[in-house]
Amino acid sequence: MNNLQKLLTVLKQSDTPLSSRQLSSLLSVSDRSVRNYIKELRNAGEQITANENGYLWIGIKNDEPDSPGNKSQALFAFATPEERINYIIEKLILAKSGLDLYDLADSIYISYSTIEKDMIRVKKKLALFNLSIHRQNGTIDIVGEEHHKRALFSHYLTSNLDSTIDLTLESFCKLLNISPDSLRAIVHEALQTENLYASDYAFKSIIIHVIINMTRIKIRECLLEKPLYDSVTIHTAEYRAASRIFDQISRLCPIQFNENELQQLAFIIMTKTSAININNVIDLPRIVDSALIQFVNEIIKQVKTIYYIDLYDTDFINFFTVHLSNALFRCRHNVSIRTPLSDEIFIQNPLIYEIAVFIAQEIKTTFGYELNKDEITFISLHVGAVLGKKMDEHPEIKAVLVVNNYYNYYNKHSLESITQKLSGKCKIAEVTNTLDDVNPAYYDLIIDATNQVLPQANLRVIQTNTIITEHDFKKIQSACNELLAEKKRRIFHDKLISFMDPQLFEKNHYENSVEDMIRYMAEKLVALGIAPEAFTDSVLEREAVTPTSFDNKVAIPHSIVCSTQKNIGFVIVNEKPLRWGTFDVQIIMMIGVNHQQRMDFKYVYSNLLEHFENSTTVEKLIHASDFHNFIDILTS
């Protein structure tokens, strides 16, 4: 029996994986020879899987596409090399004592030369977390400080990367012999007992932190040797909650935590929770510094001045001030909090996001901390919540209702019911028996329940039954929608014409970078005397916070804090796209805002965003022949 046959026999007789070292010892050959034999057996149709524990024979290959024999290879059909790199890092994170590099290559069916190339990229990724690779006798392991390893762990567990099934909360809980529901219940009870409250995202972040710590301790027996942050006093609610969590976990799992682990969890809880209950009256001065309350009130005034948007609301002041207090605490200790909504908020609610960016810039100016994209998103959520709550409910269409004088049906209560049924789009401003004393300039629509009103030159007339029916309501609603759309189009057209300038419309002007494009456009506005000298740097400063490009081939670079001589829009339309942040851009509209005309800016900006959401409109704009064609497309 030759070595190939011996190897196959040994593998078939084993119910557990055998490492290459074990097999090489049994056959008295080198590890490389074992790997070559494995490759030959696989080519011959033998199904042999491999993992960090070794090789395992699972059967003979069946050529049918859906046969079990093909599943092991399909499992590692990585869509891109990037997916394979992430998988290798995940395996390193979970390895108990390093990985045999060549066993790993065999386990994912790639050549040794390929995995050597992959390791170059793995090292580069680990370097981002101040980690490196230690290599000895074919075994690789991650080297670096424990908190950096946990940061890497957290990144791969919480990022949007296409991670494998190994890096999921459920799989780790299974490894730790604790159910996800039990862990959530332990954390929830501990926070609730200490009257600490966390958002869904913050709660999940605490769960992830606990799981990472438990996994590192169980797999590698790695306990923190020193505190990572400022000590949390044992008399605080956060420290008691952390103690309660670890105590309950220790009863379910044989894991021992030291004081440094306890301190770290207490600190994380402190950064992600607040001691307020949204269902109770909040005594804000008792919870946060008075300077923060003053700052938030000043922000509300500035937002109203700049954007003509009123954020004043008791709940907003309370919750946003507490959130700001926690955010500044995170900044002081260089702790981040993640949310998957960042891109979604930016794309779907750009005006709300823009207000959040302005608030972030004021926070930087006042407190000296630069907020990241996720922190700005959380500000957007607070702003969006209050705007949703304060959404303007006043109707835009004013109507006069004409009725027969012998009907008392249309009393005040009934008029309110009619307005409510019209979804707030139309308000019955007057009830009359005749139009003789009605001034058409004050109204948009006549609702005629007498069938006697003649067509009007400047007012639309809707005929209804004497007692308005559901069918009549639909007719009125349809008319209101058409009138609102026409009114909005007309106002937008007039304001856009005053906002734009034919001399500031260019086609196919290209620059080497986003910064060069911004400088070209801003400096032209400065040269024309429309913008002050500080305008260019102000636009670049805003761009540095988050790119002003959208996923619709449009970018709107601008400055809110630097006033121009008038509201102005400078447009460049290019056939070839420019990479702007994460998106390709073909329409660039630089906006300058005059601080005395902010109301008009808000109207034009919000309407521009609405029109740019329509991909058909954007494609037509890209092919606009000139300035007037561009305006016509935008306002059609």
What integer pLDDT is reported at residue 228 of this predicted model? 60
Does 460 or 161 have the greater pLDDT score?
Answer: 460
Topology of domain 397-479 in CATH is Rossmann fold (3.40.50)
What integer pLDDT is reported at residue 51 of this predicted model? 64
Topology of domain 76-158 in CATH is Arc Repressor Mutant, subunit A (1.10.10)
User: pTM (2 decimals)?
Assistant: 0.55
- Locate the domains of the chain by residue range: 3-63, 76-158, 169-272, 284-389, 397-479, 508-635
Strand 500-507 and strand 568-580: pairing?
Answer: parallel
What mean pLDDT is predicted for residues 265-286? 73
Cβ atoms 550, 580 nearer than 8 A: no
What integer pLDDT is reported at residue 48 of this predicted model? 81
What share of the chain has pLDDT > 90, as a percent?
Answer: 24
What integer pLDDT is reported at residue 190 of this predicted model? 94
Least reliable range by pLDDT among 73-82, 192-201, 602-611: 73-82
What mean pLDDT is predicted for residues 57-83? 56
What integer pLDDT is reported at residue 63 of this predicted model? 47
What mean pLDDT is predicted for residues 108-119? 84
Does 96 or 540 have the greater pLDDT score?
Answer: 540
pLDDT at position 500 over 80: yes
Work out the pLDDT band at 71, boundaries 50, 70, 90: very low
pLDDT at position 65 over 60: no
What integer pLDDT is reported at residue 260 of this predicted model? 85
Which residue is associated with the tokens 């609730």?
192
Sheet strands side by side (includes 132-136): 99-100, 139-143, 132-136
Cβ count near 149 (within 10 Å) = 22
User: Measured between alpha carbons, how far is 552 from 554 in angstroms, rounded to an integer?
Assistant: 6
CA 342 to chain centroid, in Å, comes to 2
What integer pLDDT is reported at residue 519 of this predicted model? 96
Cβ atoms 620, 552 nearer than 8 A: no
User: Measured between alpha carbons, how far is 635 from 271 in angstroms, rounded to an integer?
Assistant: 48
What mean pLDDT is predicted for residues 592-619? 84
DSSP for 208-272, please give it.
HHHHHHHHHHHHH----SS-SSPPPPTTSHHHHHHHHHHHHHHHHS-----HHHHHHHHHHHHHH
What mean pLDDT is predicted for residues 34-54? 77
What mean pLDDT is predicted for residues 109-132? 88
Token pair belonging to 124: 């580069």
Topology of domain 508-635 in CATH is Mannitol-specific EII; Chain A (3.40.930)
pLDDT at position 497 over 80: yes
Kindly tell me the number of DSSP H helices and DSSP E strands found in the chain: 26, 14
Least reliable range by pLDDT among 321-335, 356-370, 530-544: 321-335
Task: Report, in this order, helix, strand and coil percent for the chain, each rounded to 5.
Answer: 55, 15, 30
Token pair belonging to 25: 């010892």
Q: For helices 20-27 and 3-13, what crossing angle results, to 10°? A: 130
Scanning 308-392, the segments in alpha helix (DSSP H) are 314-332, 342-348, 350-367, 373-389
What integer pLDDT is reported at residue 586 of this predicted model? 96
Q: Name the residue among 257, 229, 254 with its Cα closest to residue 244.
A: 257
Residue range 231-265, pLDDT digits in tens = 667 778 889 999 999 999 988 888 888 888 888 88
Token pair belonging to 373: 């994209």
What integer pLDDT is reported at residue 339 of this predicted model? 66
Cβ count near 185 (within 10 Å) = 12
Cα radius of gyration rounded to whole Å, the chain:
33
What mean pLDDT is predicted for residues 481-509? 88
What integer pLDDT is reported at residue 160 of this predicted model? 47
Phi, psi of 341 (to 5 degrees): -90, 0
What integer pLDDT is reported at residue 70 of this predicted model? 42
Work out the pLDDT band at 267, boundaries 50, 70, 90: confident
Least reliable range by pLDDT among 53-57, 131-135, 263-267, 311-315: 53-57
What share of the chain has pLDDT > 70, as a percent?
Answer: 86
Cβ atoms 364, 371 nearer than 8 A: yes
What rounded mean pLDDT belongs to the chain? 82
**76-158 has the same fold as 3-63:** yes
Least reliable range by pLDDT among 120-134, 354-368, 482-496: 482-496
Residue range 424-443, pLDDT digits in tens = 678 787 788 877 767 777 78
DSSP 570: E
User: How far is residue 548 from each of residues 126, 143, 372, 600, 630, measured CA to CA in Å?
Assistant: 31, 39, 15, 20, 21
Beta bridge partners of 142: 133
Work out the pLDDT band at 453, boundaries 50, 70, 90: confident
Scanning 528-567, the segments in alpha helix (DSSP H) are 535-545
Write the CB contacts of 513 (distance below 8 Å, at least 6 apart in sequence). Answer: none
CATH assignment of 3-63? 1.10.10.10
Phi, psi of 359 (to 5 degrees): -60, -40
CATH 1.10.1790.10 fits 284-389, yes or no: yes
What integer pLDDT is reported at residue 626 of this predicted model? 93
Does 332 or 519 have the greater pLDDT score?
Answer: 519
What integer pLDDT is reported at residue 165 of this predicted model? 40
Least reliable range by pLDDT among 342-351, 513-522, 561-570, 594-603: 342-351
Beta bridge partners of 401: 431, 447
Straight-line distance from the first to the last Cα atom of the chain, in angstroms, rounded to the nearest whole number: 84
What integer pLDDT is reported at residue 410 of this predicted model? 56
User: Measured between alpha carbons, how far is 410 from 447 in angstroms, rounded to an integer?
Assistant: 13
Residue range 352-408, pLDDT digits in tens = 888 999 999 999 999 999 998 888 988 988 888 777 655 544 447 888 888 876 555
Phi, psi of 206 (to 5 degrees): -65, -45
User: How far is residue 476 from each of residues 77, 397, 434, measured CA to CA in Å?
Assistant: 59, 11, 20
User: Measured between alpha carbons, how far is 636 from 629 in angstroms, rounded to an integer?
Assistant: 10
What mean pLDDT is predicted for residues 323-342? 78
User: Measured between alpha carbons, how far is 122 from 132 in angstroms, rounded to an integer?
Assistant: 9
Q: Name the residue among 479, 471, 439, 478 with its Cα closest to residue 458.
A: 439
Least reliable range by pLDDT among 332-336, 341-345, 521-525: 341-345
DSSP for 30-54, please give it.
-HHHHHHHHHHHHHTTEEEEEETTE
What mean pLDDT is predicted for residues 66-70? 41
Does 386 or 553 have the greater pLDDT score?
Answer: 553
Least reliable range by pLDDT among 104-108, 164-168, 406-410, 539-543: 164-168
